[in-house]
Amino acid sequence: MVEEARVWISGVGICSALGHDWATVSDALLAGRSGVSLVQGFDTSQHPSRIAAQVQSVPCPPSSTPEQWAACDRLMQATWWCCESALRDAGLWDQRHERRIGLVIGIASEWLTRWEREGCAAVPQLQPSAAPMLPTVAQRLGLSGPVVSLSTACASSNSALAVGREWLRAGLVDACLVGGCDMSVTPMVLAGFGNLRALSRRNDAPAAASRPFDKDRDGFVLAEGGTVLVLEAASRVRQRRGPVYGELLGVGMTSDAFHMVVPARTPQQAARAIGLALADAQVNPEQIDYVNAHGTSTPVGDAVESMALRQVLGEAWPGVPVSSTKSMTGHLLTAAAAIEAVACLVAIAKQTIPPTINLDQPDCELCHVPHTAREQPVRVAVSNSFGFGGSNTCVVLRQV
């Protein structure tokens, strides 16, 4: 690849049920620790699913006062924390006013959660977009680059990675904050997904509820939090001798054009997205050391992803390790792809593959990593994220 086109990940900011920093989340993922428990904060007695991976409180960043922080809603807090943490981690905090730092964040319907919180009186003041919040985050952080919110459902964070990479290559920004934030463990969201029968009803054993690729899986587990990554041109990171987590090597995106909620029963478009990412990265299946699967723990979704991976990997598929960290984090919806990119970066940094916990009876033919982490060389990692509406995305990450 031409040196000017290489994009590196130089900072990470995390807010999750497993922790709020790289070290804590890394340890939790490799230890096979679940962040799922009974829902707290509202009455769930009438809900079919009463479990989730919740963030009990978001830390107050150094740039905010406690009073200012308390006035922010939880989505604003998560986004602010993740963005500021990522900038500080990359060593760009003190340089942020002099650089064009962009912001591309996948966020679910901010207006809907505000309506749920404030009632019908809030509706006339709102637009069906998260745009009002992100400029506020940029203003609080002192960022003067372009700001975009996007939503491709559960593929949103991978879409943000793709947009951020193109901004850098086009010279529109010097660095870009990309990722997703979602604080959707609310009565309405829990009821909606629950009534769709999309959520696990294993209420008596929350930590065992998310069971990707397991014969007894019965739905995904709702989660909340966020993850933001700093993207920079490799040449700039080298010049300032900044930290490096890995390289964003390839991106692939397609659409099923099938249904707004139900995943396609055939793997063609999911497989095509993975194949496009590998082609963009100039990586062969034999060079893949790890796949972080979308693996939501739904019967249809897991089966289709398994078929897609087998189709793309071909003869290499029996030897490529696959795991789903949603078994530990739950499903962060628009933020899912970003925290799963972090799981890939953890695998690269620690040379250890995080497991799929609760995988007692695999019913999909993959090279699983059940229960416990596996130490092995990891240079190239692939992360799949597929969203409602048939949005299929895949990113390829590489060790630097």
Residue 245 gets which letter from DSSP? Answer: -
Q: How many residues does the chain have?
A: 400
Task: Report the C-alpha gap between 280 and 283 in whole angstroms.
Answer: 8
3-state helix, strand, coil in the chain (%, to 5): 40, 25, 40
* Closest by CA position to 212, among listed 224, 220, 204: 220
If you search the block for the tokens 């290559």, which residue do you land on? 169
**DSSP summary character for residue 86:** H
Contacts of 15 (CB under 8 A, 6+ apart): 55, 58, 78, 81, 82, 181, 225, 226, 227
Phi first, then psi: give them for residue 207, nearest 5 degrees.
Answer: -65, -20
By annotation, the residues acting in catalysis are 154, 294, 331
Question: Is residue 152 a contact partner of residue 137, using CB atoms and an 8 Å limit?
Answer: no
Q: Are strands 37-38 and 51-52 parallel, antiparallel or unpaired?
A: antiparallel
Tell me how far apart the alpha carbons of residues 321 and 60 are, in angstroms, rounded to a whole number. Answer: 38
* CA proximity to 112, closest of 102, 126, 98: 126
CA separation for the pair 214, 302 (Å, rounded): 9
At residue 309, φ and ψ (nearest 5 deg) are -65, -40
User: Residue type for 231, please?
Assistant: L
Helices 156-169 and 336-350 pack at an angle, to 10 degrees, of 70
Quickly count: other Cβ atoms within 10 Å of residue 266's Cβ: 13
Take residue 180 and report the two structure tokens written for it: 């997703």
CB 227, CB 179: distance < 8 Å: yes
